[in-house]
Amino acid sequence: MLQQAGRQGGYHAFRRFRFAVLRKAGVLEDLIKLWLGHSQNLIDLYAAQLRYDETYRREWCEKAGLGFELGELGYKSEAPIRPLLVA
């Protein structure tokens, strides 16, 4: 995606950007860990249950947004999210 937008960066840079967007939106840390792939270290039963609560995750996805939008001319910041494509 970055190359298509004419930007340089790798997967780690994208993850760090996404982490910042989620934190600024007030997303729970357990959800951030689940979405970014660090949930296997969580022992908390609550965090494990988040995996199965799709409605709750969708609500947070919509609230947080993507932080950017890719379009024909590159990227724009703060895009609305299409909830049917996430969570």
Give per-residue pLDDT as tens, 20-69: 888 888 888 878 887 787 655 555 656 667 778 888 888 888 888 777 66
How far apart (Å, rounded) are the C-alpha atoms in residues 30 and 57?
A: 11
Alpha-helix residue ranges (DSSP H) falling in 2-83: 11-24, 29-36, 45-50, 54-64
Question: Within its chain, how far is the Cα of 46 from the centroid?
Answer: 19
Residue 60's pLDDT is what? 83
The residue among 36, 41, 38 whose CA lies nearest residue 18 is 36
pLDDT above 60 (res 87): no
pLDDT above 60 (res 86): no
pLDDT: which is higher, 23 or 11: 23
> At what angle are helices 29-36 and 11-24 packed, to 10 degrees?
160
